[in-house]
Chains A and B, each alone.
Chain A
Amino acid sequence: MTNKKKLWSIFGPVIVALVLVFIFFCLPWSGHHSAKTEQKAAVSLSPTVFKNRSLKVQALSDRHTKYVPFFGSSEFNRMDRYHPAVMAAKYHSYRPFLFGSRGTQSLPQLFNMTMMSKQMQNKKAVFVISPQWFVKQGVMASAFKYYNGSYANLMWVQQANPKSPYDRYTAKRLLQLLGHDGSVGSYATKISQGKSLSKWDRFVINSKITLLHHEDNLFSGFFIKDNYDTRIKPKIKLLPNQLNYADLSANAVKEHDQASNNNPFGVLNAFYNKRMRGKIKRTADSQRHFNYTQSPEYGDLEVVLKQFQRTNTNVIFMITPVNAKWEKHTGMPMKMYYQTVRKIKTQLRAQGFNNIIDYSHKGSENGFMQDTIHIGWAGWVDFDRQTAPFLEKKQPQPNYKMNDAFLSKDWLNLKPTQKNLQQFKSEHHIK
């Protein structure tokens, strides 16, 4: 072989491959998904759905089926027959689109929402807050990375305003969680310092988003977990045709009593066998030192609220309870828990987020909890009773008044005694 031929045999295939890949990703692949895929995606709880865009955007703009985003964390995976997705399929005009797994706390949810701000504009949403998110170090970096990707980051960077204290806060958090490396790191650094991105930055971001958009269209429809056919659909026919919350609740309690009879905590038998059996002794008093009152999560929640204000989304909140028997056993300081809830509610109410379902005192009600920290059975029934009317009936326009004092270290670290909360409010002229 001559040297020239040899050169071609080395680099020819590489050049051809590069050209083909480039063409492949530049083609405007159609990202249309079937109604069936939408249905699956809505309850799959897969990170693929969470991190990408095409599935949720298509579902939320669907004209035939009214999907409502439900934001939360691990509770959505408790799919008994009273789960909101089953209840909605049986009785209601809307379908929940679930965004929530373990670790999807405020900040991952913010990036999730940023990808579909247009679809959330002037619509409704449900947001489930768990006091367990509000640990001292806030969302774990590993959990954040698992539910977030460069697509969401770049979409956030693209619309971030370096003049807004909210966006500067988010940029700082992004740097804390992802580090300064790479291009997202350098964009976030600029935004956190209040500097605008250059024209060249914008050009690079837009072209990257275009490629990721095509990639999303091509691949997101695959790899979705099929919860719908296995865990939702079979349960729809188990519900009575007539909706009567009192009857459902009574049935749910009965069902709970049967399904949780192998343990003194009233948790699902299977959960007890898998996660608790044999560990009862060592978990006694293990949560005595838990503290949710001071956390960066309060600031993270604040940027989520800001996002709701920006999209003028009418949102109803639910604050989750804890299983009272379990917490008594583990020594969780309930005073601290109620203080946490009070702090969260202060932050919500002060800024005009008045639709709050507070379940924090419901943890001792029979049949309300499915396990140690997640609601189920009668809990889900009541959740549906309170959310469905909000989602189905016309609601007055929300009137949110944001206050960036809730991003301050003072607020994040405030010990939420009644006195401290009062003082904070009067200092910042909050009603």
Chain B
Amino acid sequence: MVNWFASLPNFSAYGTPTYFIYLLIALLPMGIGLYFGKRFEWYEALISFIFIFFMFDGHDYKQALSLIAYIIYQTCLVMWYFHYRQKKNNSMVFYVTVFLSLLPIIIVKFTPAMVGHNSLLGFLGISYLTFRAAGTIIETRDGAIKDINWWKFIRFMAFMPTITSGPIDRYRRFSKDYQKVPSREKYLSLLEKAVLYLFIGFVYKFVVDYFFAQRWLPYVEQQAMAHAPHLSWWVAGVAYVYTGDLYFDFAGYSLFAVAISYIMGVETPMNFNKPFLSKNIKEFWNRWHMTLSFWFRDYIFMRFVFLATKKRWFKNRNVLSSIAYMLNMVVMGFWHGVTWYYILYGFLHGFALVTNDWWLRYKRKHFKNLKSTKLTKFIAGFITFNFVVFGFLIFCGFLNTLWFSPAAMK
């Protein structure tokens, strides 16, 4: 059985243009249903199961087992807490539940740093599912979730278009979409957007990213490695090319996920909004990987600020917000993985947010007459963009390869 499972072909989500042909044919009956005002729940479950199956079968079959165990675990936890919360509201119980919800990802992220290999609990997309589960527990505590059962929660967790890499939806928003069928006009406008997003996604992921990922990145990496372990201008090339690769790959992927959600009648939130046009780093985080940064904003930054204000931990408001920024970004760094470069990346961005706030205060005080012109906007955008690129150079781990494991190459 395991052998048979391991020998099946594996199709990662949105990996090739052909994947879309299979996917869209499979979704066609559902689309027709939605057009005529019907949501075929059982058909949707079947299709979702098949496509998720092919993402995790074959060589990755161990991940499939981890995924199933993980979803059962989180479902039990969420359902238990929901029932508990109907009667009582003890903070300690809440914190322990959140900790238990985060426990698998903590183990998965720390295992490579502690024992040197990946944890068996891990699977592709665990971090995104963790956000959904932990977010649901927090919303339950707030009393915002009135109606949940195990089937609805599993549908939310295992929503096929976004299972492996987001965007990160919220249970309350998602369940509203999922319980009703959009009107015909509404559904047509969703389809129209879906087609547009799919094609922009194709251009991003299969055309533009081809150059970044297949042609340019290996080239600049090779050139930079020729000077290893020393720095060269090629490293700057790696930084810019990697940034382009990351953006077009991830934004393309996110567009696919949103488009496929729309076809399934669910308005999954967008993940990117022209991030490189940002004029400061705060704006950048409102435009880059938005569902992630909003999740962190709502559940880490805001919660910390409320808690600290309530308990009067800090006298100075600016100190409070600075600490909150640092906490927010360093946690995000750890979330990416426990390596020096992810953590440094978190620190760097936390520090940048603090600096940005300081600069705004300083400007208000000392340059009252400084007008916002095209030039100042350009300078601001230029600095922000280059800082972001520098951040991604650290993030991508190339420096780690360059300095600590340079392989001789001819």
Contacts and interface: CB of A to CB of B under 8 A. Distances in A.
A74 B407 contact: no
Interface string A122-162: 00000000101101010010110110000000000000000
B406 to A, nearest CB: 11
Nearest to B188: A6
B221 interface: yes
A146 B219 contact: yes
Could you say which of B188, B218, B221, B226 has the most chain A C-beta atoms within 10 Å of its C-beta? Answer: B218
A105 B188 CA distance: 54
Given A10-B191, A10-B192, A142 B221 contact: yes
A3 B222 contact: no
Contact of A74 (B7, B9, B230, B410): B410
B409 A143 contact: yes
Contacts of A282: 230
B403 to A, nearest CB: 14
A182 interface: yes
A181 B409 contact: no
Contacts, number: 74
Interface stretch (A84-92, A183-191, A307-315, A353-361): A183-191
B15 A181 contact: yes
A7 B185 CA distance: 11
Interface residues of A, number: 35
B58 interface: yes
A73 interface: yes
A130 B410 CA distance: 8
Contact of A142 (B9, B59, B60, B222): B222
A7 B188 contact: yes
Nearest to A1: B188
B252 to A, nearest CB: 17
A11 B263 CA distance: 13
B223 to A, nearest CB: 9
A282 B218 CA distance: 27
A181 B12 contact: yes
Given A6-B188, A14-B195, A146-B222, A180 B410 contact: no
Contacts of B185: 3
18 contacts: A3-B184, A6-B192, A10-B188, A73-B410, A102-B409, A103-B409, A132-B408, A140-B407, A143-B409, A145-B214, A145-B218, A146-B218, A181-B10, A181-B15, A182-B15, A186-B8, A189-B7, A279-B230
Interface of B: 7-12, 15-16, 58-60, 184-185, 188, 191-192, 195, 214, 218-219, 221-222, 226, 230, 407-410
Given A135-B409, A189-B58, 18 more contacts: A3-B188, A7-B188, A10-B195, A73-B410, A102-B222, A103-B222, A103-B409, A132-B408, A133-B410, A142-B221, A143-B409, A180-B60, A181-B15, A185-B59, A186-B58, A189-B59, A279-B230, A373-B410
6 A-B pairs with the lowest CB-CB distances in the bound complex, closest first: A180-B59, A186-B9, A146-B218, A132-B410, A142-B218, A135-B408
